[in-house]
Amino acid sequence: AKEAGRNGYRFFTTEMQSRYSRMLLLENGLRQAIERQQLSLVYQPQFTLAEYRLTGFEALLRWQHPELGMISPAEFIPIAEKNGFIMPLGEWVLATALRQQARWQQQGLPATLMGVNVSAVQFRHPRLGEQIRMLLAATEVPAQQLELELTESVMMDNPQRTVAVMEQLNLLGIHLALDDFGTGYSSLSYLKRLRLARLKIDQSFVRDLLIDEEDRTIIGTIISLARNLGLQTIAEGVESREQLEMLRTMGCDQAQGYHLGRPLSAEQATELLLGRRSF
């Protein structure tokens, strides 16, 4: 076995093993992460492009692992989706985001929209609507202040059912946004049946907006599509003033991104709402 190191075999298994044990660590750790208070939400502000008015926040999940440090949701959400833990995890996210909204409401701060990411696995679960209805009732947050961010993958397995679930969520009065728009497989004919409020223009189109004419064309097409369907548009991943100006000129309604504001802790977001913190 010692010899194996020379031909790279041992290195390979060691790397495989460490990747596997990281996965196991994450998978096992995730179940306790909630009760051990290792999870938190950060809130990234969203602004109108016409007058740079703060309209809301997107809640983004963070996990501080005791041994591995900060883990990206891009890494642990797929694990939670696979092992079913996404349901309690998603409920924790919804409850925490709505409790924050309720706190702001009690402080008399201006009403804002709270965007919450919902995985396709959660969306498929028959309990989601009831879960949201109960959480809204418990926190007394008006339904119109909650926006669920769905990706186009929700439509892939069963479009009929997706439309039905969306109608049910719509009846509650909450908003629905299509996240990462333009990167998935949505059929345009479904788009008009989905009762969406907003399309979120994926950051991959925004990144090279100033130098790539094709990206500009795609964004322009998304904006006019949204207009024709009566939907709002919000661009993600805006990192410079130039991108912001271009998006404004193109008629995009809202934006979020590092140039406008990084994801903030609850305390920082509160200061922003109080006007004590500049954008």
Q: Contact positions toward ligand C2E, by CB under 6 A?
A: 44, 60-61, 72-74, 77, 93, 117, 119, 179-180, 203, 236-239, 257-258, 263
Q: Interface with Ca ion by CB under 5 A: which range of 11-19, 23-31, 160-168, 230-238? A: 230-238
* Contact between residue 150 and residue 118 where contact means Cβ atoms under 8 Å apart: yes
Residue 180 CB, shortest distance to Ca ion, in Å, is 4
How distant is the alpha carbon of residue 132 from its chain centre? 16
Residue 253 C-beta-side C-alpha neighbours within 13 Å: 16
Residue 85 CB, shortest distance to ligand C2E, in Å, is 11
Does 180 engage in binding with Ca ion (CB under 5 A)?
A: yes
* Contact between residue 155 and residue 190 where contact means Cβ atoms under 8 Å apart: yes
DSSP string computed for 35-85: TTT-EEEEEEEEEETTT--EEEEEEEEEEEETTTEEE-HHHHHHHHHHHST
Residue 102 C-beta-side C-alpha neighbours within 13 Å: 13
* Residue linked to tokens 């497989």: 185
Does 122 engage in binding with Ca ion (CB under 5 A)?
A: no
Q: Amino acid letter at 275?
A: G
Residue 257 interacting partner from Ca ion, ligand C2E, none (CB closer than 5 to 8 Å by kind):
ligand C2E
Q: What tokens were used for 185?
A: 């497989």
Residue 106 CB, shortest distance to Ca ion, in Å, is 26
Residue 119 CB, shortest distance to ligand C2E, in Å, is 4
Residue 147 interacting partner from Ca ion, ligand C2E, none (CB closer than 5 to 8 Å by kind):
none
Complex with ligand C2E: residue 191 or 263, whichever CB lies closer:
263
* Contact between residue 42 and residue 57 where contact means Cβ atoms under 8 Å apart: no
Residue 73 interacting partner from Ca ion, ligand C2E, none (CB closer than 5 to 8 Å by kind):
ligand C2E
* Residue linked to tokens 């290195």: 11
Out of 44, 101, 112, 117, which residue is the one contacting Ca ion (CB under 5 A)? Answer: 117
Residue 75 CB, shortest distance to ligand C2E, in Å, is 9
Residue 218 CB, shortest distance to Ca ion, in Å, is 15
Taking the C-alpha atoms of residue 96 and residue 76, their distance in angstroms, rounded to an integer, is: 18
Write out the residues near Ca ion by the rule CB under 5 A: 117, 149, 179-180, 236
